[in-house]
């Protein structure tokens, strides 16, 4: 049995695109970067901790495979997590405007017998954003619960001048890498997606 250890509706929607049946485990894992911890190692660690905590919840099922993921926005070695409020979100967007940032998305899968992990690295270049444009996006509420205060699958897609990497990885679950990990646990082959991700109507 496959489980997704995530409260994110975007990750649930993305994983469903692989055509798999899976359960969802709602976990509350602290996400705090340790002093001196490299950004990529931090994202890897949180993904592992989510998967490991999920496995503990279903330990009675010896065939369980638990998938955990974490996605963070990084600029100048600063990790932009989920904003605390509108003011925090505004500050994040001001910093990202007109710059190229890195999106790190780590996926971990664990079972009673093994563990695998992959990482997707994507570069996203934002157009310059003036204050009215930032304010309009903040007023939309789309920034809530999203690393870096934006969702590429929504209105913020028009901010993106260039994307080098994985669209689904920036959303929160890189499907190419996720399918590779799951294949290592015997899942697949996977169906061809029926529609482009940006047309999938992913709920925020």
pLDDT digits (tens, 9 = 90+) for 72-121: 999 999 999 999 999 999 999 999 999 999 999 999 999 999 999 999 99
Give the C-alpha separation, 187 to 181, whole Å.
Answer: 9
Give the C-alpha separation, 154 to 91, whole Å.
Answer: 19
pLDDT of residue 94: 98
Catalytically annotated residues: 70
pLDDT of residue 192: 59
pLDDT of residue 190: 80
Instruction: Kindly give, in sequence order, each residue whose CB lies less than 8 Å from that of residue 110, ignoring residues fewer than 6 positions away.
Output: 48, 51, 52, 54, 55, 65, 66, 68
| Chain-centroid distance, C-alpha 199 | 18
pLDDT of residue 189: 81
pLDDT of residue 60: 87
Beta pairing partners, 13: none
Average pLDDT over residues 55-66: 93
The answer, yes or no, to whether residue 195 has pLDDT greater than 60, is no
63's tokens: 């065939």
DSSP result, the chain = -EEEE---HHHHHHHHTTT---EEE-------PPTT--HHHHHHHHHHHHHHHHHHHTTT-TT-EEEEEEEEEEETTEEE-S-SSHHHHHHHHHHHTTSEEEEEEEEEEE-SS-EEEEEEEEEEEEPP--HHHHHHHHHHTTTTT-GGG--TTTGGGGGEEEEES-HHHHHT--HHHHHHHHHTTT--PPPPPSS-GGGS----
The answer, yes or no, to whether residue 203 has pLDDT greater than 70, is no
The answer, yes or no, to whether residue 193 has pLDDT greater than 60, is no
Give the C-alpha separation, 94 to 107, whole Å.
Answer: 29
The answer, yes or no, to whether residue 202 has pLDDT greater than 80, is no
Tens digits of per-residue pLDDT, 1-42? 999 999 889 999 999 999 999 999 988 888 899 999 999 999
Instruction: Kindly give, in sequence order, each residue whose CB lies less than 8 Å from that of residue 172, ignoring residues fewer than 6 positions away.
Output: 8, 10, 11, 14, 69, 71, 105
Give the C-alpha separation, 49 to 70, whole Å.
Answer: 10
Tens digits of per-residue pLDDT, 134-189? 999 999 999 999 999 999 999 999 999 999 999 999 999 999 999 999 999 999 88
Specify the pTM: 0.89
pLDDT of residue 31: 87
């Amino acid at each position: 049995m496959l489980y997704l250890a995530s409260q994110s509706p975007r990750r649930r929607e993305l994983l469903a695109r692989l055509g798999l049946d899976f359960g969802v485990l709602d976990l509350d894992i602290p996400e705090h970067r340790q002093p001196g911890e490299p950004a990529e190692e931090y994202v890897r660690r949180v993904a592992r901790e989510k998967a490991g905590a999920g496995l503990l919840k279903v330990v009675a099922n010896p065939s369980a495979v638990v998938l955990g993921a974490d996605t963070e926005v990084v600029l100048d070695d600063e990790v932009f997590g989920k904003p605390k409020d509108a003011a925090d979100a505004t500050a994040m967007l001001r910093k990202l405007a007109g710059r190229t940032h890195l999106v790190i998305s780590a996926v971990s899968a664990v079972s009673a017998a093994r563990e695998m992990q992959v990482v997707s690295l994507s570069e996203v270049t934002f157009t310059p954003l003036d204050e009215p444009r930032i304010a309009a996006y903040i007023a939309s509420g789309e920034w809530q619960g999203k690393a870096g205060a934006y969702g590429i699958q929504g209105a913020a897609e028009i901010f993106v001048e260039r994307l080098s990497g994985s669209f689904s990885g920036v959303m929160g679950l890189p499907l190419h890498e996720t399918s590779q990990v799951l294949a290592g646990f015997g899942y697949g082959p996977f169906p061809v997606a029926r529609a482009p991700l940006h047309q999938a109507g992913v709920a925020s």
